[in-house]
């Protein structure tokens, strides 16, 4: 069993994220999901508190399974490597959807290892979910489109409220 950190913006959490959490739980046993304050993404929709609440609601069914696996949810303002250190995780996990993700993630992983000795493991996401992105979820919900196949049910009400519908 290993303890891993899964950092992200989660603005909002979607089914692709939950697939990565499920894979990480199955493989490693203990996952700390960290909603990061991300100053490079000022165009976000939900504040950190609401992103955290949506994550808590989305992972609650996993906690109820009582199979010895553990999922925690935290928020963190700072570097992912500092969150990794303060949570004493073995490594960071990231989901990969596309080659575009790989380009970005590879540079972050190499930087985090070079600067702080923290390693990253990539998990390829379920191909049936690989088209989902928080950005498009926000955009579709803003214009009243249907995102019910892309996000956990608990997130739908938050999106409706945020888009004033
Ligand atoms: O869900 P996202 O937006 O793709 O997640 C990106 C995130 C938040 C994981 C990344 O931007 C991050 O780790 N931010 C924290 C700041 C940090 O560690 N920066 C140095 C990266 S090498």
What's the pLDDT tens digit per position in 87-131?
Answer: 999 999 999 999 999 999 999 999 999 999 999 999 999 999 999
Q: How confident is the model at residue 136 (pLDDT cuts 50, 70, 90)?
A: very high
The answer to whether 75 and 52 are in contact (CB under 8 A) is yes
For position 27, what pLDDT does the model report?
97
User: Ligand 1 pocket: which of 5, 21, 33, 38 to mutate (most atoms <8 Å of CB)?
Assistant: 38
Examine the residue annotation and report whether 148 is marked as an active-site residue of this protein. no
Q: How many helices (H) and strands (E) in the chain?
A: 6, 5
Task: Indicate whether 38 pLDDT > 80.
Answer: no
Choosing from 30, 51, 97, 158, the catalytic residue is: 97
Choosing from 17, 51, 94, 158, the catalytic residue is: 17
Is the shortest distance between the CB of 13 and ligand 1 below 6 Å?
A: no
Nearest residue to 59 via CA among 87, 29, 32, 91: 32
């Amino acid at each position: 069993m290993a303890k891993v950190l899964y950092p992200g913006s989660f603005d909002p959490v979607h089914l692709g994220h939950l697939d990565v959490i499920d894979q990480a739980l199955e493989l490693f046993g203990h996952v700390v999901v960290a909603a990061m304050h991300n100053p490079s993404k000022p165009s976000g929709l939900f504040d950190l508190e609401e992103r955290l609440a949506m994550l808590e609601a989305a992972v609650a069914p996993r906690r109820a399974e009582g199979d010895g696996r553990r999922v925690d949810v935290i928020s963190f303002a700072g570097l992912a490597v500092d969150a990794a250190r303060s949570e004493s995780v073995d490594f960071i996990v990231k989901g990969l959807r596309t080659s575009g993700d790989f380009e970005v993630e590879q540079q972050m992983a190499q930087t985090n290892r070079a600067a702080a000795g923290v390693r990253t493991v990539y998990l390829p996401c379920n191909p049936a979910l690989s088209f989902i992105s928080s950005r498009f979820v926000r955009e579709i919900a803003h214009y009243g489109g249907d995102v019910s196949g892309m996000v956990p049910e608990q997130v739908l009400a938050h999106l409706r409220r945020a888009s004033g519908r």
